[in-house]
Amino acid sequence: MRAAFVLYENMTALDLIGPYEVLAGHPELTTHFVAERTGPVACDSGAVLHADTTLAELPDPDVIVVPGSGHWRPALENDALIAWLAAAHPTARWTTSVCTGSTLLAAAGLLTGRPATTHWAVRGTLAELGAEVVTDRVVVDGNTITAAGVSAGIDMGLLLARELWGGRMADTIQLAIEYAPETPGDAGSPETADPDLVTTVRALINR
């Protein structure tokens, strides 16, 4: 089973690495870091990942994982990636996204009239792109899974592992990575965070 972990300039590293760490250790999965061209790809945090496969070299992956970006508006102008998503999705077993990655799926026409989620600050744009926006942390619709902001990619990865390999394997992976978050604060969603923080973060993400 071939998995395409999509790279593009200014993507958010954790969006991709979270589900990658959940899924990549399974022997049935062959992972590919795919981009328009091979070589280094700079993330929005300054981290650099390496694309080992071009989009053209992997037109029909079984699993697609699309990260979001802290600079998500320019990503919507990545015509090559959007065209690849539109072409690859029909034969993929699972197409997934994390954070604002769902806006790329929507731009490719994959979410029109379908329930999907994204980072809370970008829900309006996702709706404008044709999706039926859901506020859940992870949304499954057919063979498409969308996850909310950044850290939700780990949740998405575990859900995908459950779909691919069953509950026992998913639980084994969760235990192996010791995923049992106990955050020191309660500001992880716009519903629980201070309203001033919500305003500040919304402005940062939509700049």
Pick from 41-55, 58-72, 125-139, 179-193: least confident? 179-193
What is the residue range of 147's domain? 2-205
Question: Would you name the residues annotated as active-site residues?
Answer: 99
CATH number where 181 lies: 3.40.50.880
pLDDT tens profile 1-23: 999 999 999 999 999 999 999 99
How many domains, the chain?
Answer: 1
Residues 128-157 have pLDDT tens digits of: 999 999 999 999 999 999 999 999 999 999
Query: Is pLDDT above 90 for 56?
Result: yes
Q: Is the pLDDT of residue 185 over 90?
A: no
| pLDDT greater than 90 at residue 75 | yes
Amino acid at 153: G
Contact by Cβ (8 Å): 66, 57: no
